[in-house]
Amino acid sequence: MSNSAQPPRLPLAFQLKAFLRTVPPLLKTGAFYFPLPHNPKGSLEMLRSLYRWRFAVGSLVHVDAQRYPDRLALVDDDGELTYRELDEMCTRVALALMARGMSRDTKFGIIARNGRGIIVPMAVKGLIGSEIMLMNVGSSEAQVDGIVEQNDVSFMFIDDEFIDRIPKDRKDLNVVITHVSDPETRNKVPSHWLFMEDLAKENNNGTFDDFEFKPEQGRIIIMSSGTTGLPKGVLRDEPKLPNSVGAICERIPWRRNMVVHQSASMFHAWGWANVLIAFGTGATIVTMRQFDGKTMAQQCQQYGVNGIISAAFFLRQFKDELDDNPVYKLGPFKFIVSSGNAIPAWLVRALTHRFGPVVCNFYGSTEAGLTSIATGQDLTMRPDSAGRPAMSAIVRIYDDNGKELPAGEVGRIFACEDSSFTGYLNPEDKFNTIDGLFEIGDRGYLDREGYLYISGRSDDMVIKGGENVFPREVEELVGGLPGIADCYCRGVQNDEIIADLYLYVVRSGSKVSEDLTQEYLQKYVRENLADHSVPDKVIFVDKLPRNAVGKVVPREIDAMLGKH
């Protein structure tokens, strides 16, 4: 095992084989539909755009404006945009920013929720070739200040709810407000700050020909969700080949002109990837800035959604809304994909019972990229599986001494894929590799048929009574019980030797939830799991603090309840 600053890379022969294997599923999506013969000029413009910017967001939006100009491209909190309107907005904003000094040497950051406020800057990045930093919406003012200082960031795109994150003494920082939720925002911010909606209305008489013909593309930097200090910057490039997209479409049945609801956060690698696939296939993206299960159900019905990109926590709320209000007429869905945090088997079964075998699970990481995908059929038979390794990935399990483990044995998960990161922004940040594969940070195993199972995060594992315990097993068991709206389990190291297991439970408010007690839940776990998995303490809370992708933030539990 080595501790390295050099990112792992797939062998060239494997990459070539993966590319050839991904061609059929890519063709099946209809993504490469050209409007010949009835619009030859549009076809030529599409080819020209792909040559200039390849698969960048701005390029794909422009291509779709030639193919489907009047088709809805985006539905968000600010309304509806056709592909023609979105293309025009991206072009105008990019040209207006170029007039203010933005170039391919510019570095800019974004703190924005799902919607045009993040999609338009993504497009601007590709059209101009600048370097982009996608920051977590939970970033603090100190973290933003550190990122701006260390990386010479000159532009910042930000939703108005995050204006307090802009360092007060950064007078030379060009700030662009991407979304306005407070009518008083214009009166609160400095007069030199810009508003994206104003830039989109500027009549500068510019056209696509005013962009550099084939700009050298700056890096995509995804800032990790660090809780203290500066977040790690994970470096990625604009996709040059569609290997990863083809590997995704081989398991997830994307097709041309779908209507997709995306609640997966777009400031993460997985969210960005789905924006690319959606625009690559001419889909309509339906989204919202703040997730709400009722709004999602209404949007799915109103727009005829037939694909969902989400996370387990959001899908649970969606399911609960449908259970409480069975009047919605939804589907059929081609897929419902969960990623970001583990989807429990009971939720897979519930969604499969309602919508059929369409629930898929995407597993990967910001650094390693795509690792494995479980199809709808996979999860019907193996609802607790993360699926088989993607055709573009190599996945292996190693023990703590760096020895590869046989099928069925739990160890550390290592992987590498075509879209794996190109390094960390800070070269002093290191990571573990074995045989050219990156350590993801999870533990799990591969069964004899090649299916991957995730036991939990390596640092979440608790040694209790001499046995290894993964809190996730407890969450999956009790999460589907009647009366439980949400739950979270973790190990608490009370001293250097003894670790306890704490289970946090949110009651649903129903009659049956009133009867839930610590003794009942401990007995239920004891009857279904090993003795060492029984929670030492069950704590009932009003809600669990979760971040934008639905993951519980442990430090906020400590702050909420007082450190245990």
Establish if 515 belongs to a structural domain.
Answer: yes
Strand-strand pairing, 431-434 and 437-446:
antiparallel
Percent above pLDDT 90 for the chain: 56
pLDDT at 37 over 70: no
Between 239 and 130, residue with greater pLDDT: 130
Alpha helix stretches (DSSP H) within 162-268 = 185-188, 196-199, 243-251
| Residue 228 confidence (pLDDT) | 46
Gap between the Cα atoms of 389 and 450, Å rounded: 8
Predicted pLDDT at 239: 66
| CB within 8 Å of 217: residues ≥ 6 apart | 53, 56, 104, 126, 129, 237, 238
Q: How confident is the model at residue 563 (pLDDT cuts 50, 70, 90)?
A: low
Is residue 243 pLDDT above 80, yes or no? no
How many other C-beta atoms can be found within 10 angstroms of the C-beta atom of residue 73? 26
Query: What residues contact residue 58 under an 8 Å CB cut-off, 6+ apart?
Result: 90, 94, 122, 123, 124, 125, 126, 127
Q: What is the mean pLDDT of residues 240-256?
A: 86
Domain for residue 72, yes or no? no
What are the C-alpha distances in Å from 366 to residues 3, 19, 80, 217?
A: 18, 21, 30, 20
What's the number of CA atoms in the CB half-sphere (13 Å) around residue 535? 28
Residue listed under structure tokens 């990161």: 421
- In this structure, of 60-74, 120-134, 275-289, 492-506, the range with the lowest mean pLDDT score is 492-506
Tell me the backbone φ, ψ of residue 7, rounded to 5 degrees: -65, 150
Q: From CA 283, how far away is CA 516, in angstroms rounded? A: 44
Decide if 501 contacts 536 (C-beta within 8 A): yes
Q: Does residue 158 register a pLDDT over 60?
A: yes
Q: Which one-letter amino acid corresponds to residue 221? A: I
Residue 480 domain flag: yes
Of 82-86, 168-172, 458-462, 492-496, give the range with the top mean pLDDT. Answer: 82-86
Average pLDDT over residues 185-206: 90
Query: Which residues lie across from 503 on neighbouring strands?
Result: 489, 538
Residues with Cβ within 8 Å of residue 175, at least 6 apart in sequence: 155, 156, 158, 163, 166, 189, 190, 193, 194
Closest by alpha carbon to 436, among 472, 476, 404? 404
Q: Residue 564: is its pLDDT beyond 60?
A: no
In-domain check, residue 528: yes
pLDDT value at 169 more than 60:
yes
Residue 394: name the closest of 23, 17, 12, 14 by CA: 14
The total of other beta-carbon atoms located within 10 Å of residue 454's CB is 22
Burial state string for 309-344 with b = 16 or more CB within 10 A and e = fewer than 16: bbbbbbbbbbbebbeeeeeeebbebbbbbbbbbbbb
Q: What is the pLDDT of residue 225?
A: 57
Q: Is the pLDDT of residue 227 over 70?
A: no
Measured CA distances, 458 to 24, 412, 469 (Å): 37, 7, 11
Average pLDDT, the chain: 88
Q: Residue 252: beta bridge partners?
A: none
CA atoms within 13 A on the CB side of 50: 17
Residue predicted with more confidence, 272 or 333? 333
Averaged over 347-368, what is the pLDDT?
93
- Before 37, cis peptide (omega within 30)? yes
Maximum mean pLDDT: which of 131-145, 348-362, 468-482: 348-362
In a domain, 512, yes or no: yes
How many whole angstroms separate alpha carbon 311 and alpha carbon 309? 7
The rounded Cα 29 to chain-centroid distance in angstroms is 21
Contact 396, 372 (CB under 8 A): no
Chain segment 270-323, per-residue pLDDT in tens: 889 899 999 999 999 999 999 999 999 999 999 999 999 999 989 999 999 999
Mean pLDDT of the region 491-501: 71
Question: What residue spans of 101-221 are helical by DSSP H?
Answer: 116-128, 141-151, 185-188, 196-199
Is the residue at 554 inside a domain? yes
Confidence of residue 143 (pLDDT cuts 50, 70, 90): confident
In a domain, 160, yes or no: no
Which of 252-256, 496-500, 523-527 is predicted with the least confidence, judged by mean pLDDT? 496-500
The lowest-confidence range among 4-13, 60-69, 400-409, 510-519 is: 4-13
Dihedral pair phi/psi, residue 367, rounded to 5°: -80, -50
Residue 112 tokens read as 């924005």
CATH code for position 496: 3.30.300.30
pLDDT for position 465: 60
Provide the 3-class DSSP secondary structure of residue 40. Answer: helix
Q: Can you give the residue range of the structural domain that contains 515? A: 461-561
Check pLDDT > 80 for residue 9.
no
In a domain, 508, yes or no: yes
pLDDT at 189 over 90: yes
Is the four-CA dihedral 128, 129, 134, 140 of positive or negative sign? Answer: negative
Pick the more confident residue, 269 or 310: 310
- Of 512, 521, 559, 563, which is closest to residue 540 (Cα–Cα)? 521
- What's the start-to-end Cα distance of the chain, in Å? 36
* Cα 374-378-384 angle, rounded to 5 deg: 75
Count of domains observed in the chain: 1
